[in-house]
Amino acid sequence: MYCIRIPLRVLFLFVFALASAQQSPPNIILMIGDGTGLSQITAGMYDNGNTSNYEEFPTIGLQKTHSDNALVTDSAASGTAMACGVKTLNGVVGIDANNMAQPSILERCDEAGYTTGLIATSSIVHATPASFYAKVISRKQYQDIALQLSESQVDYFIGGGKKHFTKRKDDRNLIDEMTDWTIVSSLRKFNNADSPRIGLFTHDDEPAPIAQGRKPKLNEAVDSMLDKLTTSERPFFLMVEGSQIDWGGHANDLDYVLTEFADFNKAIGRAIAFVKENPNTLLVVTADHETGGLGLSGGNIKTFTPRGGFVTLGHTASMVPVFAMGKGAASFAGIYENTAIFDKMLAVLQQEENSDN
């Protein structure tokens, strides 16, 4: 009997070790370039000397961005689709077309024991980041969204919009009420804060364009955020938004698009370096929709300077590309609805077999 028991025990330990290695849940980083369609990426790539960090990704897909009630989505409906996995009406955050509030991937990750973080180069209560923690009928309910962030499961955030927490119709000062958090006003203070929950307000209102000296740069914010998210042994979910590529599109201002793209592209580079050091991480880079109907009609081949024109001051219905690398990345190939971004991230979170890469 003795000669059988030892191999069985060794076998058991081996299987147990294998199982627990497989059960270590992956980090998830979702980066959204608001309004960043294929023309924005192409223009940004040429403007960067015919190269971009997007070229590092082994898996590329396309997502359909239409909302429940319009071929041309807004950032609330498309943010909700990716964050919560449901189509909804334009302008609605975190609530589906049947008026049911839906849990977001950030909230699902939190339930699974993850640490969570959000970064935006807009205010942190803007539609895209709000889709990950808020449930409101209108994206313009900034004070309600701020209240919901103060009561959310978000552990770390970096973004503008402090005034929605401090200058309120209900006379509450949410920052005073956020006793679990350390709220700071510079990246240096964010780095130095020793708290399990930290919020950095980069601006009182909407942050300035990067061309006008916005601080911090997005890659620096991502760097500091990754430092905080990896202080615990727990896996993390992080959403990073390059918010103002969209605003350049709305302004039909190609220089605005290019400078914001360059800021976002550098941040992608920082995230890629993290995935290379931490292979149990899924990195997805995409957009919520295209903005402006940008067409590249010419330019200078010697300097790779693109020239372009826009067909609208609003968004367009073009599909937008999805780039993935790391754990579960292969499932992001193909053409699918924007709601599938949520489904695929959830499958990676739950480590379903078909999501294994």
Catalog residues that contact Mg ion under the rule CB under 5 A: 34, 75, 128, 243
Which lies closer to Mg ion via its Cβ, residue 119 or residue 226?
119
Q: How many CA atoms lie within 13 A of 258 on its CB side?
A: 17
Partner interacting with residue 128 (select from Zn ion, Mg ion, none; CB below 5-8 Å by kind): Mg ion
Partner interacting with residue 110 (select from Mg ion, Zn ion, none; CB below 5-8 Å by kind): none
Long-range contact set of residues 302-308: C-beta below 8 Å, sequence gap at least 24: 304/46, 304/47, 304/49, 304/50, 305/46, 305/47, 306/42, 306/43, 306/46, 306/47, 306/254, 307/254, 308/39, 308/43, 308/254
Which lies closer to Zn ion via its Cβ, residue 120 or residue 329?
120
Residue 31 Cβ, how far from Mg ion at the closest point, in Å? Answer: 12
Which lies closer to Zn ion via its Cβ, residue 108 or residue 250?
250
Active site residue 78: no
DSSP per-residue string spanning 217-280: -HHHHHHHHHHHHTSSSS-EEEEEEETTHHHHHHTT-HHHHHHHHHHHHHHHHHHHHHHHH-SS
Which lies closer to Zn ion via its Cβ, residue 225 or residue 239?
239
CA nearest neighbour of 132 among 165, 169, 97, 93: 93
Q: How far apart are the first and last CA of the chain?
A: 41
Residue 195 Cβ, how far from Mg ion at the closest point, in Å? Answer: 27
Name residues contacting Zn ion, limited to 240-269 (CB under 5 A).
Answer: 246
Partner interacting with residue 131 (select from Zn ion, Mg ion, none; CB below 5-8 Å by kind): none
Residue 246 Cβ, how far from Zn ion at the closest point, in Å? Answer: 4
Write down the catalytic residue from 39, 75, 152, 331.
Answer: 75
Please report whether residue 290 would count as binding Zn ion according to CB under 5 A.
no
Active site residues: 75
Which residues bind to Zn ion, rule: CB under 5 A? 246
